[in-house]
Amino acid sequence: MMKLSCNAVDQIHGGAQCRFLGPQKRRPGYAPRRKVAPASVVPCASSLKKKGIVAVVSDRGAVGAENGPGRVEPMSLADRLRQGSLAEDGKSYKECFIVRSYEVGMNKTATVETIANLLQEVGCNHAQVVGFSTDGFATTTTMRKLHLIWVTARMHIEIYKYPAWSDVVEIETWCQGEGRIGTRRDWIIKDYATGKVIGRATSKWVMMNQDTRRLQKVTDDVREEHLVFAPRELRLAFPEPNNSSLKKIAKLEDPAEYSRLGLVPRRADLDMNQHVNNVTYIGWVLESMPQEVIDSHELQTITLDYRRECQQDDIVDSLADVEHVENAEAILGSKGTNGSPAASENRNNYRQFLHLLRISGDGSDINRGRTVWRKKPAR
């Protein structure tokens, strides 16, 4: 076979074509992440080593079996083309993504909304791979019987280096329990070419009744179904004590220095659960940022606390104001083994803001947020 010299993007495209065109055998599991050969030859799926994963029975059938054949769900076309797989122990999931031209912004790099969408995508794909339903974002069999869904309570994202157009990122995700009222999902984002950590994220989710729209405690049945795929020992994307993902967000009082009023949800902003998708809130938060900061800085950290649902007919006000901090550590946070800011730690290179999204009519809180911005690197 002719040896081809190609970059990671070409290899991923080639691997997808190879899996699509080649004859596929029914396999007891999902293809593990393809490792690029040193000679830059794109391997086909048929040459991959097969690894079993723990069996689970769901509305999609059994997914693999480690200690027996079980019932096996045939691989879908999406499964064959997707560049992702479970870890060997089945407790986390990794997937590679190519940054598309329509996912980059004015800085010629991926936007934070792009990053947030990829985090959501890999989380949903993880849920699908282990057999959970995708009609309500990772609902288990018991959750569907009781009309329960997961909703986001908090999202914290840190980006140390934004990928550019055609860069390949590898995202690993896993979920764990979070007390009696919810669950958490963490992510680590790497540059696929170098293996360096370029971002981290964590989130907290609570369970809500889809009919009454009221929060509900996680039952033991749901917990058992959900956490069978969680790491046995606590694993955190932000293991550092007093890291910025744990900091409370004070309410921004009106009048705020910066505002963008009268934002209206589009039909495209609604998700499968019939409320405004959590990524839409990020865009609304950024709408009230002063242009001078947008021009000179780039977003490093965003933390959002989701207070209530936003419906299609709501009109939203976005408020922002400078948050003054006592020391640089409050802005920069602690360095850890899972990555840290690559920019200068000069306090003057950073700006920090508080944010509030509220219903324009009655002023009720939708979302409280905090952003940290670092000076753009010299080009």
Q: How far apart are CA 296 and CA 349, in angstroms?
A: 10
**Catalytic residue status for 349:** no
**Catalytic residue status for 275:** yes
Residue 119 one-letter amino acid: L
CB under 8 Å to 275, separation ≥6 — which residues?
151, 309, 310, 311
Q: Exactly one of 126, 156, 226, 275 is catalytic; which is it?
A: 275
Q: How far apart are CA 156 and CA 202, in angstroms?
A: 5
Please state the length of the chain: 379
Q: How far apart are CA 200 and CA 188, in angstroms?
A: 5
Q: How far apart are CA 134 and CA 34, in angstroms?
A: 25
Tokens 């919810």 correspond to 182
Tokens representing residue 149 in the block: 């869904």
Q: How far apart are CA 197 and CA 187, in angstroms?
A: 11
Residue 346: phi, psi to the nearest 5? -65, 120
Tokens 């865009």 correspond to 283
DSSP code string of 220-289: HHHHHHHHTTS-SS---S--STT-GGG---PPPPSSPSEEEEEE---GGGB-TTSSB-HHHHHHHHHHTS
Tokens representing residue 168 in the block: 């390949």
Q: Exactly one of 125, 243, 273, 278 is catalytic; which is it?
A: 273
Q: Exactly one of 156, 226, 278, 310 is catalytic; which is it?
A: 310
Q: What distances in angstroms separate CA 20 from CA 10, 85, 128, one per listed residue?
A: 15, 17, 20
**Catalytic residue status for 367:** no
Kindly list the catalytic residues.
Answer: 273, 275, 310
